[in-house]
Chain A
Amino acid sequence: MDANINGSILKVEGLTRYFGGLAAVKDVSFEVRRLQIFGIIGPNGAGKTTLFSMIAGALIPSEGKIVALGQETTGKPSHRLVKIGIARTHQIVRPFRALTVLENVQIGVYFGRKHTNNAATARDSALEVLRSVGIDNLAYQPASILSVGQQKRLEIARALATQPELLLCDEICGGLTHSETGAMLQLLRKIRDNGTTVMYVEHDVKAITSVCDRIMVLNYGRRLAEGTPEEIQRDPAVIEAYLGTRATGGKQ
């Protein structure tokens, strides 16, 4: 592919976050290239959500630097990131329950990167986004009645409505059935193919290795490994982090 197209979209340098004396994320650096699906995995407590929150503007880093879409975004609030072209989804869905599905998505169009004041434009773009994630039939239903799977799709629709260049997804397959997970991963590929880079945090190894172009593994807040899904699955350090070391006949 053209080197220009596959330039860097997100560059994280030495990112660190302390909670009290504990470093939840320590000195993590990585780079996401355009039109990749970049996965971040790690065992529970590895610092995935902390790292994600800092990149998504929900948490201010203690140290380090984030550069996204050609500008420094370290510590910028999320509504500013949206205007730059970075949107996120939530691990635990947070729809605006009292609003309709369409209104939920319309807000994203209204206040997104290419923000508009035109109600008709906002409605049409919102319907189009709903169609692309497959819940346009629910447009006029209140968001509160949606099933978990549908709410996860609404999360993605709302983020996509802001027309991001970089989509940050936090454990979007949590709580989904096997077939729903498959459909969700298919949707992620479609989003990437339509020109949006995806950074995807997940602890489900199977889900992430099947969809990601590149994966970074976190453990105890540090970067443990990075590579293609095949490289990651073979990496002894990763296997050790997930499965532990081989027992040595009772001796320590």
Chain B
Amino acid sequence: MTAAPAMENPRRAPKWITGALLVAGIILLVVLPLVIGSTNFVRLLFLTLLWVTTSIAWNLLGGFAGQVSFGFAVFYGVGAYTTALAINGKINPFLAFVMGAVAAAIISVLLGLPTFRLRGPYFAIATIGISEAVRVVMTNVGFTGGASGYRILEARPFEQFEHYFTALALAIIALVVSAKIADAKFGLGLKAIRQDEDAAADVGVNPFTNKLAVHAIAAALTGAAGGVFARYAAFIHPNGVFGFQTGVHILLMPVIGGIATVWGPVVGGFVFGIVEEEIVASFPQIHLLLYGSLLILIIMFEPGGILGGVREVIRRYRGRKH
């Protein structure tokens, strides 16, 4: 038995609108760099796309499943170092990205096994501790150069557009994965876990295994982004890719854009990626303070982020018309 179309869920935007937006966005992201072409512009867009990817990835665990993690720098760093080691070992860079993703996913399971026994703020605190512990270990590990960093030596010449389109492809993969999960059984189970873990278990959802699974997917995407970054930068160091700041940035973007939605993290990633350059350049001493203030303002006044704010405006506008 199927319900009449009039009974469709009225809260969601029609599919063709999101589809058209997606196609237009991708075309723009393909054409714009080719037209403008300035190295600096392409670099900015490249980094932004990596942020979009990690933002989407974080939202899978932090948004849909409601498990707030400050530790995503671990996956970014593991992906970056694994890729770097692989490329220096003469492995094809694209295979190296996959290796970075797999390594990050494996690490995520190892970290999830103990930490997913904790709930809410206790889980969040544990991820802070783990992230810092991993950073400290990496600054003291010899074979990757410790705190002084690790250099990637690639035999091929540097081709900026190749890096850019790799990042674009990865962001699109992340978005497709996120959209598929949001619509599927898996996503519904995660949303149930976010709202009431015990009630979710009472209707048959295994909170522990579902959290482990989404953690692994999120870690793989984040690790791949770290790998793509490492190859581009050709030099990585623990205080960068494993930095606590990296983990905070990855968390901040989906919160800015709109948590637990498919498009919120995309919006947040773009806004953050583009604005961050400016903020760091103009206010190098207080840019972290600005992020902190922004986070407090969003949580106090618009927990739905930018996307939530826009939806609210549309809702009010429609309400006035009728």
Q: Which residues of A contact B (CB under 8 A)?
A: 56, 58, 77-79, 82-83, 87-88, 90, 94-100, 102-103, 106-108, 110-113, 115, 117, 119-120, 122-124, 127-128, 139-140, 142, 158-159, 161-162
Contact = CB atoms under 8 A, between A and B. Distances in A.
Interface string B183-202: 11100110110011011111
Given A117-B185, A119-B185, A128-B1, A107 B201 contact: no
Contacts of B198: 58, 78, 94
Given A58-B198, A94-B196, A111 B189 contact: yes
Contacts of A161: 203
29 contacts: A58-B198, A77-B201, A78-B198, A78-B202, A79-B202, A79-B205, A82-B203, A87-B203, A90-B202, A94-B198, A96-B199, A98-B191, A98-B195, A99-B192, A103-B191, A107-B192, A107-B200, A107-B203, A110-B189, A111-B204, A111-B205, A112-B204, A117-B185, A119-B185, A124-B1, A140-B9, A159-B202, A159-B203, A161-B203
A140 B10 contact: yes
B204 A108 contact: yes
Interface residues of B, number: 27
Given A94-B199, A96-B199, A127-B1, A79 B7 contact: no
B2 interface: yes
B148 to A, nearest CB: 48
Contacts of B203: 82, 87, 107-108, 111-112, 158-159, 161-162
B210 to A, nearest CB: 9
B189 to A, nearest CB: 6
- List the 4 closest pairs (A to B, CB-CB), nearest first: A111-B204, A82-B204, A94-B199, A79-B201
Contacts of B183: 119
Given A139-B3, A140-B7, A107 B205 contact: yes
B185 A122 contact: yes
A59 B184 CA distance: 31
Residue from A79, A90, A113, A140 having most chain B Cβ neighbours under 10 A? A79
Contacts of A113: 204
Contact of B192 (A96, A119, A122, A142): A96
Nearest to A117: B185
B10 A87 contact: no
B206 interface: yes
Contacts of A112: 203-204
Contacts of B159: none
Given A117-B185, A122-B185, A140-B10, A99 B191 contact: yes
Interface string B228-253: 00000000000000000000000000
A75 B184 CA distance: 31
B204 A162 contact: yes
Nearest to B8: A140
Given A107-B192, A119-B185, A79 B206 contact: yes
Contact of A96 (B7, B10, B195): B195
A128 B2 CA distance: 10
Contacts of A119: 183-185
B204 A96 contact: no
B261 to A, nearest CB: 11
A107 B189 contact: yes
A33 B250 CA distance: 55
Nearest to B203: A108
A87 B189 contact: no
A115 B195 contact: no
Nearest to A139: B7
Given A96-B192, A97-B195, A111-B189, A87 B202 contact: yes
Contacts of B2: 120, 123-124
A83 B202 contact: no
B3 A127 contact: yes
Residue from A96, A97, A158 having most chain B Cβ neighbours under 10 A? A96
Contacts of A88: 202
Nearest to B183: A119
Contacts of A111: 185, 189, 203-205
